[in-house]
Structure 1
Amino acid sequence: MPHGKPGQAGSFTLGPASGDVNTAYRYRLTSGSFDSGWSAYKPGATATIAPVPPTSGTMVLFAEAKDNYAAGAANSVEFVVKEGDGPVARWNFAETSGAALDTSTTDQSLRDNAALAGGAVRTDRGRRGEVTVTRATETTPAVKSTDSGLKLNGTTDYAVTSGPVIDTRASYTVAAWVRMDVPTRNATVFGQKGVNRSPFYLGYEHTSKKWSFREVNTDAAVGTPFSYQRVESKRPAVPMVWTHLAGVFDAVNNTISLYVNGELQGTTPFTTAWAATGPLQIGRVHWSSVYSDYFPGVIDEAAVWQEALTDTQVAEESELIDAHAVPSVELVTAWTPAGAQGTTLRDTVSGYGSDLALSSGASLADDELVLNGTTGAGTTAGPVVDDSGSFTVTTQAVVDAAKILSKPDGYKAQILGQRTATGSSWSLWFEKTGTRQEPELDENGDRIVDENGNPRTTPVPVGRWHFGRLTADGTGASVESMEEALMDTETRLTGVYNARHRTIQLYLTSDQQASDGIAYTAQVGTGELAVGKGYLGSWANFLPGRLSDIRLWAGALSDSKQVSDVVGT
């Protein structure tokens, strides 16, 4: 039977088998490691251990023993961990009007609904994107709807509960998806009102330009001394993209922690928790007896737990799994050349409105973006997605065989990528690996021969598709297509970065190109998102070819089926 919960230590006893004299033990859980090393005990004695499960479900405890000479017997046992208590409140902002309903419970008396105030509205650009209400069957199509989020203007808008949601003296976690407009001051996602201030602040600090989670040591009146502890993000906050934030107060260990896109940013001591008995504020904070730090942008999937979530639980929350057990994705860019003209390719589909500016050598013709391979490209101000979080990118690509033939072996033609200071945060590209001689054929498919009767041949370029990091020195990791790329043939390419597992995957149409995802360390993009060229200290790696249907999503598609369902062919 399941017992305990994630983050709660269990109890196991290790001991020697009959006739053995053990002097030390070590253990690990499931996919963990023996990081703690050997713990010595009186020879022959038993050892009581207290492993802490990071998540619910079936876990495996692996234990090893050693005697005076060397490591000896090993054993393992399965045990089942109960789920945690779940959020005490969750707001999806999926209603058509009125208050945001607390969806953590169906008991009306226990719901902490949040009233929209100050001009706050819902937007149809929620983080879950296109939501599948009912899956397709053999006889009926899928029923879908568009997700919504809480849109705030940064000056007066907010949402508020009628009373306190959590006891701020006990362990708790607050988390939400946010898409922040370009900020001009501090911006707060969550705070719970005290008499004079909130004990915690999850949001953005303009001085450091980073996300932060702060805790104040007392509900100090104006003019009364106070202090606070903070944890900041490792990297500057990226505006205009979807980012998952979570703040955790652990009352057992007296610490606070900040997570960005499911990744722990840091932990610091905090020992002076106090009770804030006022309403929970979403999109603003109570500070020095006034409300301030109004959030500019969209907040969605906001949730609060009366427990300190583990690293694994926060990472699971950041995946945003839907009712059908697949990750939710939100389309944030869609460039479709069909019917477009001029030197700007506009996004008229996603609702986020990024424009792709075309350079000389790039043109819109025959429903495609045509690139000459020397100067032609398109750029837009980036990042379009938060590179440290999960995302999916796709396009239909054609490589011009005649033009790529003149490029040297090893030439990497970038199809689409996000620039950093020295290379790419991520990129789809074609790499020429060589040439081969193929027979020339006439209109009937018969081989052509020369005047001596020898078969005539022609050089043909050879190469493969890649998704990963394009770098000048070739050190970037990538997934390579299993088969050679077909020249002059339209190919659907889809790249996926999974932030939780830190892996990348490449799909041709919906065919997965690596048996498992390739390990990948994300680098946040700092410059333009480029189509048809790559940045390696300077712009180069131009693509000779044609592109159509360029799309990017916040969120990682999980497998071939979801790629087929969402991306298409």
Structure 2
Amino acid sequence: MRHPLTRPTVAAAAAALVVPLLFPSPALADDNRPPDRPDTATLTARGESCSTDKQAPTLLNDTTLTLSGLFADPDAVSASQEVKGQFEWSLDGADQPLGTAESPYTWQRPDDTPRSRSASAKDLPEEVLVSYRARGHDGQAGGEWSDWCWIEISTSKPEAPPRVTSDDYPDDDRFHGAPLQAGDFTFTGNGVEDAVAYYYSVGGGASCTTRVSPDEPGGPVTVSITPQNDGPRSIHARSVDAYGNSSGCELVYSFLVAPLSDPVAYFRLDEGTGTSASDVMEQDRAATGTGDIGWTRGRVGEYQGSSYRLEGTAADTAAGHLRTEAAVVDTSSVFTVSAWVRLDETGTDAVAVSQDGEHLSGFQLGYDASDGAWVFQQASQDVSGGGFDHRVVSTAPVQAGVWTQLTGWYDPAAGEIALHVDGVHQGSTDRDSSWNAEGPFVIGGGQDQGAFARGWPGAVDDVKVWSRLLLDEDSRLTLTGRSEVWETASRPLALEGLWRLDESGGEAATDSSDHGLDATLHGDPATAWNGALNDWLFTHAVLLDGAEQEHLRTDGAAVRTDRSFTASAWVRLDDGGADAVALSQSGEHTSGFALGYDAEQGKWAFEVAAEDAEGGEVHRALSSTRAETGEWTHLAGSYDHTDGTLTLYVDTFPEESVTREGTWHSGGDVVIGAAGHTGGVDRSWTGALGTVYLLQGAATESDVIAVIHDFLPR
């Protein structure tokens, strides 16, 4: 007779069914296999790997440790198993354990990767050899014990931080070195013979996070540290022993970093008359002319009041050269030399600046005719019959009749010489050591086999010499935030054209620079002059009718558009229906640059053409906001040849920077009020135009602020 299932019976049966479904039963005792023997490679003590070498135990600095390992049960291949880890530790591997601990059970399911299990070991003894081992347990049987892992514990901290010394930046209350000039600092154990590492930090808080390790415990280790700023600097440090115990992070060394040093010699070459040039760094030092020294319009002008003038400010060395009585720099040590040069003939080798030795120049910065390149060179030895076998030649092309900035340096720390052209690194070459040329410093030539040689057929301007390297990365230590190499190639801005456009009559607008590029008015003087008032500056401005293609045009170019340059103008656009250009410089088929308005975008624009071709590729920087008609706005466009970027400024704020690919020089006329080219003008301006600047050199935001106020800072 079958008996019906009661409710309790049904519930019990259901529960019995659910348990196997959720948690499959472990293997029967007769079939159970114990967990596998743990691999010592998976065992750790406080995260430190197991050492099975009794002679090289793991060294730790805490008497309470977390012991961990991986424990696998072979029966988990087919059914879930509960597994825990068991640990024991003893003195020197003795049979009688000092203590035991075990982890909680966790489930190991089929196809799961075994997980780490941990337990805590407390009150472990110090400075004796301790061993620990582990095994797995599945609730029915324990597995085989692992091999012993060996540890040794000490919580005794080193008594002192390391001692620090430096010959480059000695702690003597005197200024040494310079920001970004590396120096060697030596750390020693300071009596802590078991110190295996030193941790340090420079300046700021006492973090002591940078690690250095001596070859032998407590021994010396020398590191290179580069101060980022001038003034007082400090080093905090701590010593760490093999157990990981650390001394306090303490102030261990103080030193003074000198500010960036001025040039040791600086010949502005602004005299304009006479046969000598003064060194502004040394009152009694001058470079005296040999041969027929002349003067010409230079690249870097003489500062006069509120703007740069360029009147007679470079030495013409085509028929002579300048030389000092004695050396200006030690060429066996670190030095940098720079000069603006204009090479008028390219048929023979030429040297712009050098310093005499007995037989050869200690260095030569100039031009190599065989390579058709700029060159910075030195000789291995100052011997008769020797030659300049350490040379860096430029990849930048040489252009005759064009002002170019050259910078060469010798870096004995890096063991090399290097060359920059217009602020762009051209390369370097090995130069392990040098010799000191103790003769005169020469502008406009060099020395070969004991005689003057390789005179410079052209002009030289603004010659500087430093007894250090220049910063070649952007830095807050400079006035502009750019590198010193960039500043040397880009500063100061050279005023090449300034038209205030405030005439009351006549046929031309006067160029207020010394360039003499007066701009002829192509339009009606009666309506153009005094036709508008700049209500920002309260100055008169010219009013142009774009429908009649009214504009102003010079007779010749103001700036080199294949070099860094800046163009700016006050503008009031009265008709936004068509493209309009406020300022340009003419090429044969298109403008070399155009500053103005893009009607399709409804924005201000600064653009350059990739080549002198009608309808060719144009690189354009646009304003982020739309242009307003009938409102006075200041526009400035800057091309930085060093990094190849165009930047548009609107009311002194940088709007957009874009990369320019390909450069060419538009040697035609400056056009105010249209885009100029040989065939005429297009994109004529309808509205008013105020003060216009054209400058050689890339303007920064602070320069644009100076220009908008009609004042260029020194």
In the superposition, the TM-score normalised over structure 2's length comes to 0.53
Q: CA deviation at 1:166?
A: 2.3
Q: In the alignment, which of 485, 502, 511 is matched to residue 627 of structure 2? A: 485
Q: In the alignment, which of 267, 290, 293 is matched to residue 120 of structure 1? A: 293
Q: CA separation in 2, counterparts of 1:188 and 1:386? A: 26
Amino acid at match of 2:405: H
Q: Are 1:395 and 2:556 counterparts?
A: no
Amino acid at match of 1:52: T
Q: CA separation in 2, counterparts of 1:364 and 1:39? A: 78
Partner of 2:392: 231
Q: In the alignment, which of 418, 432, 438 is matched to residue 599 of structure 2? A: 432
Q: In the alignment, which of 307, 312, 318 is matched to residue 155 of structure 1? A: 318
Partner of 1:104: 281
CA contact (8 A) 2:302 2:313 kept: no
Partner of 1:304: 465
Q: CA separation in 2, counterparts of 1:25 and 1:371? A: 71
Q: CA deviation at 1:192?
A: 1.4
Q: 1:375 to 1:497 in 2, by over 3 A?
A: same
Partner of 1:202: 365
- Show the 5 A alignment for 1:453-532: 463-469=602-608, 476=619, 478=621, 480-487=622-629, 491-497=633-639, 505-508=647-650, 511-514=651-654, 518=657, 520=659, 523-528=662-667, 531=671, 532=674
Q: 1:39 to 1:498 in 2, by over 3 A?
A: farther
Q: CA deviation at 1:543?
A: 1.3
Partner of 2:124: none
Q: 1:85 to 1:476 in 2, by over 3 A?
A: same
Q: CA deviation at 1:256?
A: 0.9
CA contact (8 A) 1:126 1:300 kept: yes
SS of 1:433's equivalent? coil
Q: CA deviation at 1:176?
A: 1.9
SS of 1:163's equivalent? coil
Q: CA separation in 2, counterparts of 1:467 and 1:491? A: 14
Amino acid at match of 2:637: G
Superposed CA deviations along residues 439-480 of structure 1, whole A, max 9, x for unmatched, are: xxxxxxxxxxxxxxxxxxxxxxxx2112355567988462x3
Q: Are 1:257 and 2:418 counterparts?
A: yes
Partner of 2:89: none
Q: CA deviation at 1:175?
A: 1.0
Partner of 2:258: 82
CA contact (8 A) 1:232 1:265 kept: yes
Q: CA deviation at 1:279?
A: 1.1
Partner of 1:384: 559
Amino acid at match of 1:311: D
Amino acid at match of 2:465: V
CA contact (8 A) 2:605 2:620 kept: no
Partner of 1:268: 429
Q: 1:495 to 1:527 in 2, by over 3 A?
A: closer
Partner of 2:374: 211
Superposed CA deviations along residues 78-124 of structure 1, whole A, max 9, x for unmatched, are: 99742244322112234575632222245x4xxx3211332324457
SS of 1:563's equivalent? helix
Q: CA separation in 2, counterparts of 1:209 and 1:295? A: 15
Superposed CA deviations along residues 533-565 of structure 1, whole A, max 9, x for unmatched, are: 489xx9999312266754311232542541234
Partner of 2:683: 543
CA contact (8 A) 1:373 1:543 kept: no
Q: CA separation in 1, counterparts of 2:568 and 2:320? A: 36
Amino acid at match of 1:431: D
Q: CA deviation at 1:495?
A: 2.0
Partner of 2:17: none
Q: 1:528 to 1:308 in 2, by over 3 A?
A: same
Q: CA separation in 1, counterparts of 2:343 and 2:203? A: 38
Q: How many aligned residue pairs are there?
A: 476
Q: 1:350 to 1:412 in 2, by over 3 A?
A: closer
Superposed CA deviations along residues 356-394 of structure 1, whole A, max 9, x for unmatched, are: 899xxx7685356876699999698778236454x3212
Give the percent of matched residue pairs that are identical in Structure 1 and Structure 2: 23
Amino acid at match of 1:562: A
SS of 2:395's equivalent? strand
More displaced 10-residue stretch of structure 1: 245-254 or 376-385: 376-385
Q: CA deviation at 1:514?
A: 2.8
SS of 2:484's equivalent? helix
Q: 1:167 to 1:526 in 2, by over 3 A?
A: same
Q: 1:548 to 1:157 in 2, by over 3 A?
A: farther
- Structure 2, unaligned runs of 5 or more: 1-172, 188-195, 205-210, 236-248, 530-541
Q: CA deviation at 1:227?
A: 4.7
Indicate the RMSD between aligned Cα atoms, in angstroms. 5.4
Amino acid at match of 1:252: A
Amino acid at match of 1:214: Q
Q: CA deviation at 1:190?
A: 0.4
- Show the 5 A alignment for 1:55-66: 56=230
Partner of 2:356: 193
Partner of 2:447: 286
Amino acid at match of 1:115: T
Q: CA separation in 2, counterparts of 1:318 and 1:364? A: 44
CA contact (8 A) 2:652 2:708 kept: no
Partner of 1:331: 495
Q: CA separation in 2, counterparts of 1:241 and 1:492? A: 30
Report the structure number with the largest CA radius of gyration.
2
SS of 1:236's equivalent? coil
Q: CA deviation at 1:327?
A: 5.5
CA contact (8 A) 1:286 1:292 kept: yes
SS of 1:50's equivalent? strand
Q: CA separation in 2, counterparts of 1:413 and 1:146? A: 27
Q: 1:414 to 1:4 in 2, by over 3 A?
A: same
Partner of 2:484: 316
CA contact (8 A) 1:181 1:297 kept: yes
Q: Are 1:277 and 2:277 counterparts?
A: no
Amino acid at match of 1:416: S
Q: CA deviation at 1:258?
A: 0.7
Q: Are 1:566 and 2:710 counterparts?
A: yes
CA contact (8 A) 1:505 1:512 kept: no
Q: CA separation in 2, counterparts of 1:520 and 1:551? A: 23
In the superposition, the TM-score normalised over structure 1's length comes to 0.64
Q: CA deviation at 1:235?
A: 1.9
